[in-house]
Chain A
Amino acid sequence: MNEMGVNPLVVSHLSRNFGGVRAIDDVSLELKPGERRAIIGTNGAGKTTLFNVVNGQIPPSSGEIHIFGQNATKRPLHARAALGLGRTFQITSLFRSLTVIDNMIIAVQALHPCHFVFWRRAQRYRDVTARAEALLEKWNLADRRNELVKNLSYGTQRQLEIVMALAGEPRLLLLDEPMAGLSAAETHLATDIIVNLDRDITVLLIEHDLAAAFSIADSITAMDQGRIVAEGTPDEIRKESSLQKIYARGGATNS
């Protein structure tokens, strides 16, 4: 399965219009295997639209998306997970009325052959339950196993949000503002999780918290008004004077 040299994500000339508005405008992007790339930009720069088009939630107006060498432009959202794509959501998207372990079981069995079986009990698939338990163990959530997700603290929910995205063993992970709404301590914890991810996993993340973005990413893409305005290592981006103008214009809301 390990196609060395095949880029996990290639986005070419991608555009998306909403009525007369070009939310993203001729965006091209290439991620190398194992790369950690952060997309930064002010509100309305097109980051989330780009994410949703890559993920498959909304179709592009033009352009193409290749995931591990396969043309995914027309694939429905659920079929992209099978290509190795996983994602988290900016607004926590968990199964709130279920327990932590049941959330994990649903996430683990998604790409397991048993996912459509209705004539056997789920408990019988020991490999699924064992993997769900192991993931909770690894990410320090094992003691919350039987709690209902809606009763967890917000920080723990954000943590589970990431761990659930890892359940399908994605090789390309999209993280939509993983630090949104976290306290400083929790941001630290989440940063640790992301930094410690297996290097086989390529990561694309949107992050408003620039300090966090710079500490996680080894390359940065800056967007403004739907276009890519700069791309480079964190050091190069720091020196980019045009960005300071954009952030100054965008006001203090995105600091």
Chain B
Amino acid sequence: MNRTSIYAGIFVAIAAVLGAVLSPYDTGLLTQMLIYGIFAMSLDLLLGYTGMPSLGHAAYFGLSGYAAAILTLKLGWGFALAAPAGLLVAVVAAALFHLLALRTAHSYYLMITLAFSQVLWSVAVSWTELTGGDNGLPGVKRPDLGAWLPWSFATTRGFFYFVLIIFVVAAFALYIFVKSPFGYALRGIRDNEMRMRALGYNVWAYKFTVAMVSAFFAGLAGELYMYLNSFISPSSLSVTVSAQVLMMILVGSVGTLFGPVLGAGIFVLLQYVLSTYTDRWLFVIGLIYVGVALYAPEGAFGLIRDRMRTKRSARP
């Protein structure tokens, strides 16, 4: 057993115990943390590992949630069909969009991703017959897996354990992904794209593929979020959500998997605590972010990691 799998085991054990002892409301918050954790990890594949700064990642989050909701409500599809179809929509959208978007890089990529998500947002607002407009789509029942899982998702606790299982599987898949030859290539692209091409890497194909993988996991998070609330609205596609997930990564630690999860946890917690005091909680989170950027540019996880490294090397 290496250190990573021990930490992962402790993390899952704590989450499982918390899910059993916390109040339903707090369990709901914990569920949100895990969902945003998947979402933030998916964006870090682009931002932290490949160096593609996306400011429109809510596009896949919302699109997939909307697709699953619409297929369920309007066409009467069951969970087993609607959920995978929703993911497929996000992946196909990412593929089509990146045929165009990969002509850009750096801040231009940031702008074109923002534009893409804003287009989807305005479609969700204005195509009332399909999306319910500003009112969104309420009433998508949580899935009932019947014989597959021995507990109901109707309760907050039951749904939490479902999300925890999905989270563990997603985190494990992403862990293998970033440690794979493909993952090494992404870090090479982030550091020096020209050298990668000279070495014989088809950089375009890597970026195209990672965009689809990232959209898959963002879509997964978006669907879970939709099922958690049994509701989806245009705000799930908004630039606010895109900026929030970006901030989770930056606060947590860029270029790692655990950092974004930690950032998502901190973010949900802060949002909960601050919003009981003020409606301007985003403003306070903005200030905290400025503090992080100035004093801990490596993020919260970066700080912890550095401290542990110094401790370990200081040991006689």
- Interface set of A (CB-CB < 8 Å, partner B): 55, 57, 76-82, 86-87, 89, 93-98, 102, 105-107, 109-112, 114-123, 125, 128, 164-165, 167-168
- A128 vs B181: C-alpha distance when bound (angstroms): 10
Taking a contact as CB atoms closer than 8 A, the residue among A76, A95, A118, A167 that contacts B192 in the complex is: A95
B169, chain A: closest CB distance, angstroms = 14
* CB closest chain-A residue, reference B179: A121
A109, chain B: closest CB distance, angstroms = 5
- A80 vs B195: C-alpha distance when bound (angstroms): 13
B191, A97: Cβ atoms closer than 8 Å: yes
**Interface-forming stretch among B27-35, B116-124, B200-208?**
B200-208
Task: Kindly state whether residue B188 has any CB partner on chain A within 8 Å.
Answer: yes
- A167 vs B202: C-alpha distance when bound (angstroms): 17
B191, A89: Cβ atoms closer than 8 Å: no
User: Which B residues are in CB contact (< 8 Å) with A86?
Assistant: 198
B188, A95: Cβ atoms closer than 8 Å: yes
How many residues of B are in contact with the other chain, CB < 8 A?
A: 28
Q: Which 5 pairs, one residue from A and one from B, show the smallest C-beta to C-beta distance?
A: A81-B200, A118-B182, A95-B191, A110-B199, A93-B195
Taking a contact as CB atoms closer than 8 A, the residue among A79, A93, A105, A123 that contacts B194 in the complex is: A93
- A181 vs B304: C-alpha distance when bound (angstroms): 39
Task: Kindly state whether residue B183 has any CB partner on chain A within 8 Å.
Answer: yes
* CB closest chain-B residue, reference A95: B191
- A94 vs B194: C-alpha distance when bound (angstroms): 10
* CB closest chain-A residue, reference B213: A118
* Listed A/B pairs (27) with beta-carbon separation below 8 Å: A55-B198, A76-B197, A77-B197, A78-B196, A78-B199, A78-B202, A81-B200, A86-B198, A93-B192, A94-B191, A95-B187, A96-B192, A97-B187, A98-B188, A98-B191, A106-B196, A106-B199, A107-B199, A110-B200, A114-B181, A116-B205, A116-B209, A117-B182, A121-B176, A121-B179, A122-B183, A125-B181
User: Which B residues are in CB contact (< 8 Å) with A93?
Assistant: 192, 194-195, 198
Contact status of A78 and B177, CB under 8 A, knowing A93-B192, A95-B188, A122-B183: no
Q: Is the interface of B mostly helix, strand, loop or mixed?
A: helix
User: Which A residues are in CB contact (< 8 Å) with B197?
Assistant: 76-78
A187, chain B: closest CB distance, angstroms = 23
Q: Among residues 189 to 241 in chain B, which have CB atoms less than 8 Å away from a CB atom of chain A?
A: 190-192, 194-203, 205-206, 209, 213
* CB closest chain-A residue, reference B205: A116
User: Which A residues are in CB contact (< 8 Å) with B108?
Assistant: none
User: Which A residues are in CB contact (< 8 Å) with B195?
Assistant: 89, 93-95, 164
Taking a contact as CB atoms closer than 8 A, the residue among B180, B192, B200, B206 that contacts A120 in the complex is: B180
A179, chain B: closest CB distance, angstroms = 19
A204, chain B: closest CB distance, angstroms = 14
B39, chain A: closest CB distance, angstroms = 20
- A117 vs B185: C-alpha distance when bound (angstroms): 10
Task: Kindly state whether residue B127 has any CB partner on chain A within 8 Å.
Answer: no
* Given A116-B181, A128-B181, 18 further pairs, Cβ under 8 A: A77-B198, A78-B202, A78-B203, A80-B200, A81-B198, A89-B195, A93-B192, A93-B194, A93-B198, A95-B188, A95-B191, A96-B191, A96-B192, A97-B187, A102-B184, A106-B185, A110-B201, A118-B213
User: Which A residues are in CB contact (< 8 Å) with B198?
Assistant: 55, 77-78, 81, 86-87, 89, 93, 165
B181, A117: Cβ atoms closer than 8 Å: yes
- A93 vs B197: C-alpha distance when bound (angstroms): 11
Q: Among A118, A123, A164, find the residue whose CB has the most chain B CB atoms closer than 10 A.
A: A118
User: Which B residues are in CB contact (< 8 Å) with A97?
Assistant: 187, 190-191
- A165 vs B195: C-alpha distance when bound (angstroms): 10
